[in-house]
Amino acid sequence: MKKLYDKENPKSPLIFYLFYFAVFCGGSVSGNFMSLYLTEAGIPVKTLGVLSGVIMIVSLITLPIFGRIADNARSKNIIMDLGYLFTIVMYVLFMVVKNIVVICILRLVYGLTMTPLMTLYDTITMENCRKHGWEYGPIRMVGTIGFSLMAIFAGYAMKGDIRGMFPMTIVCYTVTMLLGMLFPTSRRVEVQPSEGADADEAAAEKKGNVYVLLKNRKIRNVLIMFFVYYISATINLTYFGNYVTALGGSLEMVGIANAILGFSELPFHLGPGKRWLQRIGVEKSMLVVLGVGLFRWTVCAFTKNPTVLMWTMILNGIQLVPVIIGVAEFLYDQAPEGLKVTAQTSLRSSVSTAAMLVADFGGSALFHLFEKMGQDPYRNTYLSLLPLSVIGIAAGLISLRKSEKETAQN
């Protein structure tokens, strides 16, 4: 009898479309409303950055370890499914716990789980895209649609009760785990040194050292701009919801803003936007990311209207797609076989984690300083992103010109 679905030889990426829709629905609820829940639970806004910073410090140690474990595991799928089971348990505990100290501990453990899980399912997805000739962008786009729809639904469904986020997230991640069980098995492979690696670099890669890839100027340039982007994006993620409400907005507006954020990606997964990004390449697209950020944070800093602030999210697509698609695929292609997850965790995720660490502690310190000075802490925190964006653009341009000069000489 013919199988309705052959797990090891899928005819289409349908299971990945469904998985990304479900996992992004869960991420939409937790990502958009967790900071509001924490402040309602009694944690001051200025402390949120410190709490996240602690998570980032520990993650810098655990991410490379997780990557090596996943690359060496008999099946990456088992690691992923166990991770989501653990996440579901965390959310059940969030529902019943009321002690602030325990809530902080749960937030710490939860934070340490989610980042490596994202790199893991991205790597499994890209592995199957390369194998079957599928495109990663449209799969990620379906996740974006799920994120946007759930942002609107959750904002209204909670009806002012922020704890309503937990049952919704549990349902989303339960579906995610069940769909993950239907992924084709991603098995361990032997390390194959990257093309063009010399003897020392090949030996280092054999030992699992992906940091030798940083000898490549193009990789360094991309990661520097990636680092700057993530600092600003993290500060926006941490303070945006509270900024909207501080300006007189509502939870519904926070949900709508994040729906706008999600749908803004669509032109850059399909059609002209996609072709444009492919044509200019990852380095130049990252320069565009920082340039758009310079304009976006300027608007955020100077507006006093929550509706205007809400609509700044429409600029997210032109920033986020080169980051989550371009950089991820770029590093996947550069990494040697057998170290695909390690490259994502030790390079992409570790750099983003370090950026978030700077953003969490630096942003928290700035917010506290401006508050003590009697200045608007939200407005001035966004203002501090402007010189950072300029520095990132300058560094990227200098490195890009050096790379082009070296290429011309060769």
The confidence band for 88, taking pLDDT boundaries of 50, 70 and 90, is very high
- State the pLDDT at residue 410: 59
List residues bridging with 192 in a β-sheet.
337
The residue-averaged pLDDT of 114-122 equals: 83
Q: What is the DSSP letter of 214?
A: G
- Residue 8 falls inside a structural domain: no
CA distance 225 to 346: 17
Q: Which segments of 215-263 does DSSP mark as H helices, in order?
A: 217-246, 251-263
- State the pLDDT at residue 390: 93
Q: For 309-338, what is each residue's pLDDT tens digit?
A: 999 998 888 888 787 778 888 888 887 777
DSSP SS3 for 337 = strand
Q: 273-282, 285-294, 315-324, 329-338: lowest mean pLDDT where? A: 273-282
237 burial class (0-12, 13-18, 19+ CB within 10 angstroms)?
A: middle
Is the predicted pLDDT of residue 271 greater than 70, yes or no? no
Is the predicted pLDDT of residue 16 greater than 90, yes or no? yes
The residue-averaged pLDDT of 157-180 equals: 87
Mean pLDDT score of the chain, rounded to an integer?
82
Q: For 125-136, what is each residue's pLDDT tens digit?
A: 988 888 888 888
- Residue 162 falls inside a structural domain: yes
Q: 83-97, 164-178, 392-406: lowest mean pLDDT where? A: 392-406
- Residue 269 falls inside a structural domain: yes
Do residues 323 and 226 make contact, with C-beta atoms less than 8 angstroms apart?
A: yes
Is the predicted pLDDT of residue 198 greater than 60, yes or no? no
Q: Which amino acid is at 46?
A: K
Whole-angstrom CA distances from 46 to 59, 162, 213, 366 are: 21, 19, 37, 9
- State the pLDDT at residue 231: 92
- Residue 224 falls inside a structural domain: yes
Is the predicted pLDDT of residue 294 greater than 90, yes or no? yes
What's the total number of domains in the chain?
1
Share of the chain above pLDDT 70, in %: 89
The confidence band for 191, taking pLDDT boundaries of 50, 70 and 90, is low
Q: Kindly give, in sequence order, each residue whose CB lies less than 8 Å from that of residue 341, ignoring residues fewer than 6 positions away.
A: 67, 70, 71, 76, 119, 120, 123
Q: Which amino acid is at 255?
A: G
Full residue range of the structural domain in which residue 66 is found: 15-189+208-409
Return the closest-CA partner of residue 315 out of 349, 290, 283: 290
The confidence band for 252, taking pLDDT boundaries of 50, 70 and 90, is confident
CA distance 93 to 104: 12
Whole-angstrom CA distances from 143 to 136, 148, 229, 325 are: 11, 9, 21, 13
Q: Kindly give, in sequence order, each residue whose CB lies less than 8 Å from that of residue 101, ignoring residues fewer than 6 positions away.
A: none
Q: 131-135, 211-215, 224-228: lowest mean pLDDT where? A: 211-215
Return the closest-CA partner of residue 173 out of 27, 374, 378, 344: 27
The confidence band for 165, taking pLDDT boundaries of 50, 70 and 90, is confident
CA distance 106 to 98: 11
The residue-averaged pLDDT of 381-410 equals: 84
- Residue 196 falls inside a structural domain: no
- Residue 73 falls inside a structural domain: yes
CA distance 76 to 62: 17
- State the pLDDT at residue 63: 77
Q: Which amino acid is at 22?
A: A
The total of other beta-carbon atoms located within 10 Å of residue 405's CB is: 10
- State the pLDDT at residue 192: 57
Q: Residue count of the chain, please give it.
A: 410
The residue-averaged pLDDT of 74-79 equals: 85
Give the CATH number, domain containing residue 329: 1.20.1250.20
- Residue 203 falls inside a structural domain: no
Is the predicted pLDDT of residue 1 greater than 50, yes or no? no
The confidence band for 147, taking pLDDT boundaries of 50, 70 and 90, is confident
- State the pLDDT at residue 106: 85
Q: For 355-386, what is each residue's pLDDT tens digit?
A: 888 887 788 888 889 988 888 898 999 999 99
Dihedral angle of Cα 375, 377, 380, 382, to the nearest 10 degrees: -170
CA distance 213 to 201: 8
CA 370 to chain CA centroid, Å, is 28
The residue-averaged pLDDT of 156-183 equals: 87
The confidence band for 246, taking pLDDT boundaries of 50, 70 and 90, is confident
- State the pLDDT at residue 295: 95
The total of other beta-carbon atoms located within 10 Å of residue 314's CB is: 14
- Residue 111 falls inside a structural domain: yes
Is the predicted pLDDT of residue 239 greater than 50, yes or no? yes
The residue-averaged pLDDT of 187-201 equals: 58
Q: 28-32, 177-181, 208-212: lowest mean pLDDT where? A: 208-212
Do residues 320 and 24 make contact, with C-beta atoms less than 8 angstroms apart?
A: no
